[in-house]
Amino acid sequence: MKRYYKILITLLLVVSVLVGFQFKNNNDPEKDRVLIGLLRYVLTNGHYQPQNIDDKFSIQVFNSFIEGLDPAKRFFTQADIDEFSKYKTQIDDEIKVENISFYNLVQDRLMQRMQESKGYYREILDQAFNFNTDETIDVDFEKQSYAANQNELINIWKKQLKHSTLVRLHEKLEEEINKKSKDSLYVVKSFDVLEKESRESTLKNLNEYFDFMDELDHTDWFSNYINSIAETFDPHTSYLAPKIKKRFDISMAGKLEGIGAILQKRNDYTKVVEIVSGGPAWRAGELEVGDIILKVAQGDQEPLDIVGMRLDDAIEFIKGKKGTEARLTIKKIDGTIKVISIIRDIVEIEETFVKSTTVNYNGKLYGLINLPKFYIDFEEKASRNSAIDMAKEIERLKQENVEGFIIDLRDNGGGSLETAIDIAGLFITEGPIVQVKYRGEEPMIKNDTDKKIFWNGSLVVLVNELSASASEIFAAAMQDYKRAVIIGSKQTFGKGTVQNLLPLNNYYRYNDDLGALKITIQKYYRINGGSVQLNGVVSDVALPDRYTYMEFGERDQKNPLTWDSIKEAKYLPWNNYENLNDVIIKSNHRVSQNETFKLIDENAKWLKKTQDDTKVSLKYDIFKASVESHQEKAKKFESISKYKSNLNFASPKYELPLIASDSTLSKKRAVWHQNLSKDIYVEEALQVLSELKIKKQLLVKN
């Protein structure tokens, strides 16, 4: 089913649990008017591809705003939607005259409906559920219609609360079985007792959410409306309210105590979208991109259910002081439920720096350089820079006589365009790397002008679906120059745009903080003229992974900019491999015959099928059988995670004294090397690297 993702720093208000909310009215009509006017001005004049603020635009804003407020369709009735619909083609007119009548109508009705729902859920949860009736629920709420009347609305609540309680009940029943297996004298609680406990947990969860939402004020709610307007331009354009901007600034400062994961809201769920390299979650190795966090426990305390919780609130429970334990109940992308433990630590910018390792493969020594981010400090030029660090790492490994390099850009979401150009220049003499284009202007060609080549030997670049932006610029340049073999997912993320953060007080003098607008201002293109927008960089050797068939990347975002192309830049392909095409053909054939890759591809298809199956039985016996069947099928793919090569990775010689004196660094490197030894993608990259042959006359001293 199609789900659209919002960026972490956007304020997403999941009101499907906001029952009995007392709205804090810090309404400032003048500020609202100013924000709408500024938003229209900056977006229409500064956005790379501005939308016409017309009836079509109005309909998009209408749908986005309504869906965002009531994703589970348990507040608004069809009569409400019909009443709102008189504004469906008028929002554009309101924006032009800085009117917010549509917002006021919807917001007031939401407050009314939430107050009414307070009685619904309490009354429903006061009575035992009958889990013997043959009943189903479709958890893809986008497919559902709005309730025709109040009775239908109450039935929606009943089904959703019954489902929530059923999930908890099953977990409790499984826990009782486990306790009995460990202690034969343990007296197992009855089904009825556990059913009541499960309803009480559901009720407690809703009441707690109500407390959290009590902190919301007019600024929070109005930000949601403004973002419905901003994000209609493209998925990377968004409004940051003052307090969200403050949190964003703190997160960019370098240190944050927590588990080391970046989270997003997906309807009622908190989803992991990135694991910070070197952080606590990364070191523990159990939390993965795509996992959904269901519950959070502080050490041995009772876990708190965060399903439906506002993202900001969920994060408050997940993060914490260094040394404390976060016990997370997570739902894996294969549907299995697992409890994992992560010891919180300080997540530092240090973890985003270049690091390298060496490995013997088929009798030859190769280097692997991992670059989690294209980093640079524009304010402090003397601080670390990814291009300078990459050059140093290459020089150090050359001293150990490596015969080829793998540049690992998996999960690298981008960063500095400048450093991406400089790093590409380490592998070619000189020439264009990327083309950048402002709206209505001719493209600017960004060149590497340094003729020095830091590495003139074999090169492989590893990518995946999370390799984005600057990663795609580098990978595309290496592919266009025929300088490296690109190995990884079928295609990279596909983000071919550049954003800028604009403080709105710079455009209008106002005695209060107006927040900021993150806005798309440029598009970038490959030197061959094609854009990476939507299409990403297509790997020379496409390796199946668990995300292959899922909706992932820019193409699956809401309102992405379109793909296009411009004139090709003048450049000379490197063309110094004797056997580049043959190696690529052999690798693709080898992958197609590899039993582990076949199993990974089968797993990916199964995961997609599981994701698309959104109907759930509310009859306990059927639900239980479905869960057990799913778990049994998942066992077929357990060997994928247990895969291990016979490769031994080692830190470069220059790093050995540092490891000897720093136990934390030693542990980090040990975990990394262990993970690499289980990485079939790295193993295939090494095989490709070992087969590449450089034309003899070009074997210069490196």
What is the radius of gyration, based on Cα positions, of the chain? 27
Residues 321, 181, single domain; the answer is: no
Residues 539, 431, single domain; the answer is: yes
Q: Is 683 exposed, middle or buried (0-12, 13-18, 19+ CB in 10 A)?
A: buried
Q: Is the pLDDT of residue 650 over 80?
A: yes
Q: Which residues lie closer than 8 Å to 71 by C-beta, 6 or more apart?
A: 14, 16, 141, 267, 268
Q: What pLDDT sits at residue 193?
A: 97
pLDDT averaged over every residue in the chain: 88
* 307-318 per-position pLDDT tens digit: 767 676 778 788
Q: What pLDDT sits at residue 255?
A: 41
Domain boundary among 297, 326, 348: 348
> What one-character-per-residue DSSP string does 539-582 give?
PSEE---TTTTS--SGGGSSSPPPP-B-PPPP------BSSHHH
Domain boundary among 348, 382, 408: 348
Comparing 200 with 348, which gets the higher pLDDT?
A: 200
Residues 367, 336, single domain; the answer is: no
Residues 187, 327, single domain; the answer is: no
Q: What pLDDT sits at residue 350?
A: 57
Q: Is the pLDDT of residue 142 over 90?
A: no
The residues assigned a catalytic role are 469, 480, 495
Average pLDDT over residues 527-545: 96
Is residue 7 included in any domain, yes or no? no
- Separation of alpha carbons 274 and 262, rounded Å: 5
Q: Is pTM beyond 0.75 here?
A: yes
Average pLDDT over residues 534-549: 94
Q: What pLDDT sits at residue 119?
A: 82
Q: What pLDDT sits at residue 248?
A: 54
Is residue 628 included in any domain, yes or no? no
Residues 484, 560, single domain; the answer is: yes
The region that residue 20 occupies, defined by phi over 0 for left and psi between -120 and 50 for alpha, beta otherwise, is left
Q: Which two tokens stand for residue 433?
A: 């790397």
Structurally, the chain folds into a number of domains equal to 3
Q: What pLDDT sits at residue 378?
A: 58
β-partners of residue 330 are: 293, 338
Q: Is the pLDDT of residue 17 over 50?
A: no
Residues 442, 488, single domain; the answer is: yes
Domain boundary among 206, 237, 268: 237
* 506-520 per-position pLDDT tens digit: 999 998 899 999 999
Q: How confident is the model at residue 338 (pLDDT cuts 50, 70, 90)?
A: confident
Q: Is the pLDDT of residue 394 over 80?
A: yes
CATH code: domain of residue 281: 2.30.42.10
Is residue 395 included in any domain, yes or no? yes
Strand ranges for 364-515 from DSSP E: 364-370, 404-408, 431-438, 444-448, 458-463, 485-488, 497-503
Q: What pLDDT sits at residue 546?
A: 87
Comparing 441 with 318, which gets the higher pLDDT?
A: 441
Q: What pLDDT sits at residue 494?
A: 96
Residues 344, 357, single domain; the answer is: no
Residues 264, 395, single domain; the answer is: no
Most confident of 200-214, 307-321, 539-553: 539-553
Q: Which of 225-234, 262-271, 321-330, 547-556 has the lowest mean pLDDT?
A: 262-271
Q: What are phi and psi of 497, to 5 degrees?
A: -125, 160
Residues 191, 63, single domain; the answer is: yes
Residues 363, 506, single domain; the answer is: yes
Is residue 521 included in any domain, yes or no? yes
Buried b (16+ CB within 10 A) or exposed e, 53-66: beeebbbbbbebbb
* 574-630 per-position pLDDT tens digit: 999 999 999 999 999 999 999 999 999 999 999 999 888 899 999 999 999 999 999
Is residue 689 included in any domain, yes or no? yes
- Proportion of the chain above pLDDT 90, given as a percent: 64
* 60-117 per-position pLDDT tens digit: 999 999 998 898 899 999 999 999 999 999 999 999 999 999 999 999 999 899 888 8
Is residue 159 included in any domain, yes or no? yes
Average pLDDT over residues 320-349: 82
The domain of 578 spans 353-612+648-698
Closest CA to 17 of 308, 317, 215: 308
Packing angle of the helix pair 470-480, 417-424 (nearest 10 deg): 30
Q: How confident is the model at residue 526 (pLDDT cuts 50, 70, 90)?
A: very high
Q: What pLDDT sits at residue 383?
A: 66
The H or E element spanning position 153 is helix 150-182
Q: Is the pLDDT of residue 426 over 80?
A: yes
Average pLDDT over residues 431-457: 95
Residues 228, 109, single domain; the answer is: yes
Q: How confident is the model at residue 336 (pLDDT cuts 50, 70, 90)?
A: confident
CATH code: domain of residue 693: 3.90.226.10
Is residue 634 included in any domain, yes or no? no
Q: Is the pLDDT of residue 229 over 50?
A: yes
The H or E element spanning position 23 is none
Q: What pLDDT sits at residue 349?
A: 53
Comparing 692 with 696, which gets the higher pLDDT?
A: 692
Average pLDDT over residues 232-259: 70
* 166-203 per-position pLDDT tens digit: 999 998 999 999 999 999 999 999 999 999 999 998 99
Is residue 80 included in any domain, yes or no? yes
Average pLDDT over residues 291-301: 88
Residues 595, 688, single domain; the answer is: yes
Q: What pLDDT sits at residue 24?
A: 53
Strands 238-240 and 431-438, bridge-based pairing: unpaired
